[in-house]
Amino acid sequence: MKKLFILALSLFSYTTFAQQKPAEVNPDLTGMRAVGSPANPKVPMRWNHYNDYAGITKFCQDMAKAHPNLVRVESMGKSFQGRDLWVLVVSDFKTGNADRKPGFYIDGNIHSNELQGSEIAMYTAWYLAENFGNVEFITNLLKDKTFYISPTINPDAREDFIRNPNNANSPRSGMMPMDDDGDGYVDEDKYDDLDGDGNIVQMRRKSPLGRWKQDPNDPTRMIPAKPEEPGEYELLGIEGIDNDGDGQVNEDVVGRYDPNRDWGWGWQPDYIQSGALFYPGTLPETQAIKKYIMAHPNIAGAQSYHNYGGMFLRGPGAEEDQQYYSQSDVAVYDVIGRTGEKIIPGYNYYVIYKDLYTVYGGEIDWMALGRGIFTFSNELMTSYLLYRQKPQESNRFQNDEFNTFGKYLLFDDAYVAWKPYKHPQYGDVEIGGPKKNYIRNHPGFMLEEDAHRNMAFTLFHAHHTPKLDIPTIETRSLGNGLTEVTATVVNQRVIPTHSAHDVKYKIERPDYITLKGANVVAGMLVENADFGLTREQKNNPATVEVPTIAGMGFVKARWIVRGNPGKLTVTVDSRKGGVVEKTQ
């Protein structure tokens, strides 16, 4: 596996740093282009803010209009509230059928408060299209591959998060109304923005019985009182009012279900997996995405952008599904994940169930185990990025990195200062704390760098989806009017045309290697060329069925044909590896 890793990295590095088309001086700009950035983009964009649904829609339309040979816009379907789930299809449409090239799927914002997944998905589409023809690696990538990029797969709740009062952790779900506290009433006790500033923060009350105090060095920060000292405050929870008189505040926040527990692989009901809905695929968004993925069997790799934690996550979500990850499949994930740790300092390559927590009914398990797609979920943003050092403590709520960062680099723009409020139930309280778009979501000046680094990781993954070639077609006379024809098919990338899981459970049809231009008598797969071991295919011998073509590997197909063949054509037709053809 170590050799596989080194070879993959060297191939990527060679193509990445190959000589590029000069574009250093731009007559439309008064200066010099910074390397790694488009010189004069056709779609000017700022990557230091978060777009609402209208902004995302306009971006998609602008990209398709500005780059008609590289970008088209499709809708996977409608959200619960009727918004289109946009997909940007990005490829060089002049070089073959885009839906027959190896495909790569990207989505973001399955959880509404995890905003930056949308921006990073958009940045990826923008960077690919704007650099085509100028950066050789990008140009070749779009000639070889097709990207299906959905900036937000939860547009309803994204709008709610941006437009309505929320805190950093709400809502994670979509906008389907729910009776979360089981009292028979739907959404009757929601967040209340007491001061009308758009942020749902914390409530505190002075009390000698409280076990919290204000940090003397930072008035925005609450810290636990030591066991031997008195406290100053009670923390009363999230800003709000008990609207239904049941003694609980904010217990019916819109949609506490979880769209990332709505998928068909390993689904469990809510009493086992909190956040699950009524059955796999309850949500129209989930149904639409599944139909789209299944309609594009060329998708060989996928990325779902989440936050928070700085992680490259692979499945499985549950320990019992580890049996479905073969050693060969894990080796592929290891190559990609460990390279990611070099690309993004502070991010770590992890397995969901082992290093995070158990997830049933997750999207990436459905992708990887339901469809045989090599899939990662990146957890964006981490406190490491604040000062480029490991956090002082493992619990981010018990260290002061975010507080000091907010003070020294954001000039207190990230926090709502504590202020008094006359609460109808609690009396005299104070409200304050982090704004809804801080901690989980990047500050503006940090967003573009992390977008670029995460895009680079994803492009490394996409680069290593299968790339097939037919280097040789050899013929040998067998006498008696028979000729042996042998074609070698190589895969120049790390990802195989079928995962081992796919092969075992026959998720996708085999790869087809077809000989044309000869009267085929027999067809076979060469299992050991040195010892002449073959496995004959008795039915339809002209098309040899191959279970998989390994990453950085090859297969040999052989035919016995009658007579002396003239012009021969070999075609390889692979769902995830594309279509290649050679004639001699």
338-371 pLDDT, tens digit per residue, is: 999 999 999 999 999 999 999 999 999 999 999 9
> Of 247, 254, 257, 255, whose CA–CA distance to 190 is shortest?
254
CATH code of the domain containing 515: 2.60.40.10
Domain identity same for 358 and 500: no
What is the predicted pLDDT for the residue at 258?
93
* Residue 91 near residue 105 (C-beta atoms within 8 A): no
Q: Is the pLDDT of residue 181 over 70?
A: no
* Residue-averaged pLDDT of the chain: 91
Domain end among 463, 493, 511: 463
Q: Is the pLDDT of residue 18 over 50?
A: no
* Residue 461 near residue 303 (C-beta atoms within 8 A): yes
Q: How far is CA 517 from the centre of its chain?
A: 44
pLDDT, one tens digit per residue, over 292-327 is 999 999 999 999 999 999 999 999 999 999 999 999
How large a percentage of the chain has pLDDT more than 70? 90
* Residue with the larger pLDDT of the pair 504 and 221: 504
What is the predicted pLDDT for the residue at 516?
96
* Residue 415 near residue 19 (C-beta atoms within 8 A): no
Identity of the residue numbered 104: F
Domain identity same for 370 and 309: yes
Domain identity same for 489 and 576: yes
Domain identity same for 357 and 375: yes
What is the predicted pLDDT for the residue at 380?
97
Q: Is residue 232 part of a domain?
A: no
Domain identity same for 68 and 50: yes
What is the predicted pLDDT for the residue at 332?
98
CA distances from 537 to 464, 495, 510, 529, 543 (A): 30, 26, 13, 17, 9
pLDDT, one tens digit per residue, over 225-248 is 999 999 999 999 889 888 777 777
Find out whether the peptide bond into 171 is cis, omega within 30 degrees of 0: yes
* Residue with the larger pLDDT of the pair 7 and 144: 144
Q: Is residue 145 part of a domain?
A: yes
What is the predicted pLDDT for the residue at 335?
98
Domain identity same for 458 and 539: no
> According to the per-residue pLDDT averaged within each range, which of 20-24, 34-38, 171-175, 492-496 is highest?
492-496
Domain end among 406, 429, 463: 463
Domain identity same for 318 and 456: yes
Alpha-carbon torsion, ordered 254, 256, 257, 260, to 10 deg? 110
Domains in the chain, number:
2
- Burial of residue 323, with CB atoms counted within 10 A of its CB: 0-12 exposed, 13-18 middle, 19 or more buried: exposed
Q: How confident is the model over 189-212, as a mean pLDDT?
A: 88
Neighbours of 573 (CB within 10 A): 18
What is the predicted pLDDT for the residue at 376?
98
Domain end among 410, 429, 463: 463
What is the predicted pLDDT for the residue at 566?
85
Q: Is residue 211 part of a domain?
A: no
Lowest-pLDDT range of 122-136, 185-199, 298-312, 379-393: 185-199
The structure's pTM equals 0.93
Domain identity same for 453 and 498: no
What is the predicted pLDDT for the residue at 183?
62
Terminal alpha carbon distance of the chain: 36
Domain identity same for 315 and 347: yes
Domain identity same for 449 and 486: no
d(CA 550, CA 489): 10
- Per the structure, the complete domain to which residue 117 belongs is given by 2-160+258-381+442-463
pLDDT, one tens digit per residue, over 385-443 is 999 987 665 554 456 889 899 999 999 999 999 999 999 999 999 999 999 999 999 99
Q: How far is CA 315 from the centre of its chain?
A: 13
Q: Is residue 542 part of a domain?
A: yes
> Of 469, 470, 442, 471, whose CA–CA distance to 454 is shortest?
442
* Residue 154 near residue 111 (C-beta atoms within 8 A): yes
Q: Is residue 208 part of a domain?
A: no
How large a percentage of the chain has pLDDT more than 90? 78
Q: Is residue 98 part of a domain?
A: yes
pLDDT, one tens digit per residue, over 485-539 is 999 999 999 999 999 999 999 999 999 999 999 999 999 999 999 999 999 999 9
Q: Is residue 167 part of a domain?
A: no
Q: How confident is the model over 130-149, as a mean pLDDT?
A: 98
Domain identity same for 14 and 126: yes
- Residue 425 tokens read as 């139930």
The residue count of the chain comes to 584
Domain identity same for 370 and 474: no
CATH code of the domain containing 372: 3.40.630.10
Q: Is residue 558 part of a domain?
A: yes
Q: How confident is the model over 329-342, as a mean pLDDT?
A: 98
CA distances from 90 to 63, 67, 315, 448, 503 (A): 10, 9, 27, 20, 29
Q: Is the pLDDT of residue 47 over 70?
A: yes
* Residue 544 near residue 537 (C-beta atoms within 8 A): yes
Q: How confident is the model over 473-485, as a mean pLDDT?
A: 95
* Residue with the larger pLDDT of the pair 226 and 188: 226
Lowest-pLDDT range of 32-46, 337-351, 394-408, 447-461: 394-408
CA distances from 255 to 160, 275, 370 (A): 11, 9, 27
What is the predicted pLDDT for the residue at 21?
44
What is the predicted pLDDT for the residue at 17?
39
> Of 265, 286, 267, whose CA–CA distance to 276 is shortest?
267
